[in-house]
Structures are given as C-alpha cells and as structure tokens.
Structure 1
Amino acid sequence: MLWKELDRELIFLDLDVQCSDQVMDILGGTLVKAGYCKPDYVKALKKREKEFPTGIDTGLLGIAIPHTAVDYVNKGKIAIARLVNKVPFHQMGNDEEVVNVKLVFMLAVDNPERHLTKLQSIVEVIQDESILMRLLNAKTEEQMIDAIKEKEMSECIRR
C-alpha cells in the first residue's frame, strides 16, 4: 500500500520550481537527507529520467513518476510534490513529446520485486480523476495521504 510509505515531511503541497531538475534536486535531496537514499541518488535519478522519461498525461493533468535503481536506495519511500507551475517532463515511452507536469510521485524503491507493484499502484491512483482532484485541492499533507489511502482501501474491498 502506497499510503503506508507516505510521510508528511516528504509531501510538498506547493513546490515552486521551474524545471524537472529542480524537482529532482529538492525531492531527491530530501530523500537523501532523511537517509532513505544514498548520496548519489539524485544524480542517478536525473540520468535515468533522461534515458527512460516518466511523464504521463492523464488527460486531466500531467504527472511524473521519477525513480531509479534499487542500488541507490536504503529504504523504500515515496515523496510527492504538487507544483505551483507546470514543469515539462518528457513523456514515458516517447521522449520526443513533453508533458506539462503538475504532480510528481518520486519513488525510492529498495526491493526490485516491488518496483512494478508500486508503479501499478500509482497508476491506479492517477487513473481516478476524483482522487487527482483531491490531491490537487488538498490543503494539508494529511488530506493527500487520506485521499490515496481511501483509494487503495476501496480497491482492496473490490478485489
């Protein structure tokens, strides 16, 4: 469950940045400073994003899911940022196209077997427009966590 890996200190409600590198510096740097990731995590993150872009256009808004290999992670965690201004990320699977991103889910994955599971969980969250609207309109970090928790719990009940 994604919501179990969310901490208030890793949620940025209105991050004011101008480019994707700044997003990675701030979110990745926070993960490093908190001890979840190794010192070279941010550098590896930027390199991987250039090779395998993570921008996704949901139709409602652009989302990015930057992440890197487990070698750069000490303990699994997720950082989230809602950006003040849309920031361009290259589109996943098509690095020629750009997605203007408003919401970022940064993954620190410490178990390669859980990598795809986490990505699938995020995709389930971002496919739900009502949850995206709650994330966009959240006034507190707890409201963001609660929106994701409620989505995941309702998915568990349906399964």
Structure 2
Amino acid sequence: MEIQNHLIKLNQNFNTKEEAIEFCGNLLVEGGYVKPDYVPAMIERNKELSVYMGNFIAIPHGTDQAKKEVLKTGITIVQVPRGVNFGTEENPQVATVLFGIAGIGNEHLDLIQKISIFCADVDNVVKIADAQTVEEIASFFADAE
C-alpha cells in the first residue's frame, strides 16, 4: 500500500460527513487518481451503505458504477481531531481518521482489507489520530507492509 505524503492531511475539521467525503475525493482528483465525477459517487456510496468502519475510521470510496472514473489506485489519509459523525444524532458513528480510496479493478478491495487489518488494532488508529507530522503517519504504513 503506497502512501503519498501529499495525500495526507492533518488537523482537518468538517461539519458534515458529506463535506469530509468531498474533501477526500477532491484530494484524489487533485492527485490525478480519479476524474471529478468520482467525488459525487463517493457521497452516493455512503448513502447506499455507510463507509464508517468502526474504531473511529471511515473509508470513503466510490460506487461500482464510478470505477470508470478511476485513473490509478490511490489513497488519502485525513486526520480529523474533533471527529466527523457518519451516523445519526441518536446513533453517532464518529470517525477521527478518514481513508479516501480509489482502486483500479478490484484493487480497492485490497486497500480496504489492508486498512481494516491495520485499524483493527485501535492503538494504530490512536497513533494516526495523535500523529503530529505527515511523515509520522506515512511511516506507520511503511512499517505495516
């Protein structure tokens, strides 16, 4: 799982899950990983099935129909210290780390699996949430290879 430092963003703040997903998507667009039409498909995907994965993480990604918008496989990591609610008022699901992903073919499944395995240990999520530098976050994934 190759992590690009310019796709890691620290100390972000979002009022809604849609804002958070859009931010992740726009990072992927700016990085040349997806076409702009992938971003609304990421929001649509969350409406179909929440991208919240538990352990304070969310993995925004596009719908199956949006695969044609993916130019190359990429991942963005966004730290949200105050968290963003992917649930409801009654049933909050707060994510403090977002992994925006896009994958060629079935590579997105591989990314989700690797992220899920790494983040199954909540201590790893805490490390990302508490990291002070982009390089620190990138190093966690270099070590996890």
Query: TM over 0.5, yes or no?
Result: yes
CA–CA distance in structure 1, aligned partners of residues 133 and 78 of structure 2? 12
Indicate whether 1:52 and 2:49 are aligned.
yes
Structure 2 equivalent of residue 131 of structure 1: 124
Partners of 1:115 and 1:132 lie apart in 2 by 20
Structure 2: gaps of 5 or more residues: none
More strand by share: 1
Instruction: Please list the CA deviations of residues 35-81 of structure 1 after superposition, one character each: whole Å capped at 9, or x if unmatched.
Output: 211111111110111001111222xxx11011113222111100011
Change in Cα spacing, 1:20 to 1:54, as seen in structure 2 (3 Å) is same
Q: Which residue does 2:95 correspond to in 1? A: 101
Show CA shifts across 1:5-49 (max 9, x none). x11111111112111111122221121122211111111110111
Task: Please give the alpha-carbon distance, in whole angstroms, between the structure 2 residues aligned to 1:109 and 1:98.
Answer: 28
CA RMSD of aligned residues (A): 1.8
Q: Percent identity?
A: 28
Q: State the structure with more CA Rg.
A: 1
Aligned to 2:115: 122
The runs of at least 4 consecutive aligned structure 1 residues that moved more than 6 Å come to none
Kept after mapping to 1: 8 A contact 2:13/2:83 = no
1:54 maps to a residue whose letter is: V
Q: 1:65 aligns with which of 56, 59, 62?
A: 59
Aligned residue type for 2:28: L
Residue in structure 2 matched with residue 156 of structure 1 by the alignment:
none
Does structure 1 residue 33 correspond to structure 2 residue 27? no
**In 1, Cα distance between equivalents of 2:42 and 2:122:** 28
Take 2:91 and 2:72, find their aligned partners in 1: how far apart are those partners?
33
1:79 aligned to which of 66, 76, 80:
76
**CA drift at 1:97:** 4.5
| 8 Å CA contact retained: 2:58, 2:98 | yes
Question: Normalising by the residue count of structure 2, what TM-score does the alignment of the two structures yield?
Answer: 0.88
Cα offsets for 1:114-133 (capped at 9, x unmatched): 23221111111101233222
Name the count of aligned residue pairs: 141
Q: Secondary structure at the match of 2:109?
A: helix
Using the alignment, how far apart are the partners of 1:26 and 1:115 within structure 2? 18
Gaps of 5+ in 1: 154-159
